[in-house]
Amino acid sequence: MSKPFLSVERLTQSFPDGAGGTLTVFENASFGIEKGEFVCILGHSGCGKSTIMNVLAGLAEPTSGVVKMDGMGVSGPSLDRGVVFQNYSLLPWLSALKNVTFGVKARYRDWSRDKVVDHATRYLAMVGLEGDVIHRKPSQLSGGMRQRVSIARAFANQPKLLLLDEPFGALDALTRGTIQEELLRVWSKTEQTVFMITHDIDEAILLADRILLMTNGPFARIAESVEITIPRPRVRTEIVEHPNYYAIRNHLVQFLGKRSKELAGRASDGASQSPAPVRIDLTAPAENPEPGPQTGPESGREPRAHLKAVHG
């Protein structure tokens, strides 16, 4: 089997715990992401999601292990890996447009001023920011608009890998819903590879091709990789009708509610820790008859014929 586009191999990160010992956040974690894939990682606060992302972004050095993108080892930050931070990632002294051109200028150093502005304006328009608002400073924008600008800045740079750290964590539910759909629209136009941290199960199901589930730390593990067997394009109000939706959701809830604790706190004994692939598909024929006790109320339902061709 060929190596995936992004491959994380035996990644270990430990910090001094402040009392003379070491705190191992995760150990020998291995996983891969395919080109064009949208992967979400779910886990409790403090389990080490941001730590993994900082390593992928090149902002932090792992204690051991390697990250390879396109077969090349990652070290240090790069324009090939764009990052959207949860907060404060816009420069408050620049207007929304200038925040985006800041990134575009860094990426395409030989472009003319007009070309940079055109490009930035186009990406701002993609997330619904047009007209006068793009000349406002971040402090004059709502939280949702600010995060739209961050997303526009990241996509405008057309990185090979886009990393998002709880990008909608600070937003109210309604705004979050709108921006999630915008993110999906921009993503489907650009075929961008995305790795996103979230703590919102419904958000992860709406957006992701695959969800990585992380146990609690220390010695957190990426225990499972759950495929989202719901066809695209997805719309929030429609996916909840899909027979797989609640099956997947219940699986995730069970994991976060119970198994993330049960599986926590074990050292790896030197073995590489890859997530177990999980595929829950009630629309598929017989080969997947018993989705297990966690899959909940939907288990007995008749599969719908028109949804059979799920995901290749």
Partner 1 sequence: MQTLSVNKRAAILSVLLLIFALGAWEVSVTRQEVGVALTEYEILMGLGQPRAAVPPPSDVMIRAWEQLSDPFYDNGPNDKGIGIQLAYSIQRVLTGFLLAAAMAIPLGFLIGMSPVAYKALNPFIQVLRPISPLAWMPLALFIIQDSQASAIFVIFICSVWPMLLNTAFGVAGVRADWVNVARTHELGSLRTALTVILPAAAPTILTGMRISIGIAWLVIVAAEMLVGGTGIGYYVWNEWNNLDLTSVIFSILMIGLVGMVLDAIFASLQRAVTYAE
Ligand X SMILES: Nc1ncnc2c1ncn2[C@@H]1O[C@H](COP(=O)(O)OP(=O)(O)O)[C@@H](O)[C@H]1O
Site residues (vs ligand X, CB under 6 A): 15, 25, 43, 45-51, 217
Interaction site with partner 1 (CB under 8 A): 57-59, 77-79, 81-83, 85, 87-89, 91-93, 102-103, 106-107, 137-139, 157
The DSSP symbol for 217 reads: S
**137 vs 185, which CB is nearer to partner 1?**
137
| Residue 45 binding result from Mg ion, partner 1, ligand X, none, given CB thresholds of 5 to 8 Å by partner type | ligand X
| Residue 65 binding result from Mg ion, partner 1, ligand X, none, given CB thresholds of 5 to 8 Å by partner type | none
**63 vs 87, which CB is nearer to partner 1?**
87
Per rule CB under 5 A, count of chain residues that contact Mg ion:
1
**50 vs 250, which CB is nearer to ligand X?**
50
**91 vs 276, which CB is nearer to partner 1?**
91
Q: Look up residue 226 and give its amino acid.
A: V
Kindly report the three-state secondary structure assignment for every residue of 81-142. Answer: EEEECCCCCCCCCCCHHHHHHHHHHHHCCCCCHHHHHHHHHHHHHHCCCCHHHHHCCHHHCC
- Dihedrals phi, psi of 9, to nearest 5 degrees: -120, 115
Q: Does residue number 13 form part of the binding site for Mg ion (CB under 5 A)?
A: no
* Interactions with Mg ion, residue window 44-73 (CB under 5 A): 50
| Residue 292 binding result from ligand X, Mg ion, partner 1, none, given CB thresholds of 5 to 8 Å by partner type | none
**159 vs 218, which CB is nearer to partner 1?**
159
Minimum Å distance from CB 67 to ligand X?
15
CA–CA distances in Å: residue 50 to residues 13, 25, 60, 81, 164: 12, 11, 10, 15, 10
Measured CA angle at 172 (ends 161, 54), to 5 deg: 30
What does the block give as tokens for 103? Answer: 């990134």
> Does residue 60 contact residue 12 with C-beta atoms inside 8 Å?
no
Q: From its phi and psi, is residue 141 left (phi > 0), alpha (psi between -120 and 50) or beta?
A: beta
| Residue 51 binding result from partner 1, ligand X, Mg ion, none, given CB thresholds of 5 to 8 Å by partner type | ligand X
Minimum Å distance from CB 15 to partner 1?
16
Minimum Å distance from CB 252 to Mg ion?
18
Q: Does residue number 198 form part of the binding site for Mg ion (CB under 5 A)?
A: no
Which residues lie closer than 8 Å to 81 by C-beta, 6 or more apart? Answer: 56, 57, 58, 69, 74, 159, 160, 161, 162, 163
| Residue 46 binding result from Mg ion, partner 1, ligand X, none, given CB thresholds of 5 to 8 Å by partner type | ligand X
Minimum Å distance from CB 256 to Mg ion?
15
Residue nearest to Mg ion (CB): 50
| Residue 91 binding result from partner 1, Mg ion, ligand X, none, given CB thresholds of 5 to 8 Å by partner type | partner 1
> Does residue 129 contact residue 152 with C-beta atoms inside 8 Å?
yes
CA–CA distances in Å: residue 234 to residues 41, 133, 230, 249, 285: 19, 29, 8, 15, 22
CA–CA distances in Å: residue 49 to residues 42, 159, 171: 8, 21, 19
What does the block give as tokens for 190? Answer: 């650009």
Minimum Å distance from CB 140 to partner 1?
8
**50 vs 192, which CB is nearer to ligand X?**
50
Q: Which residues bind Mg ion (CB under 5 A)?
A: 50
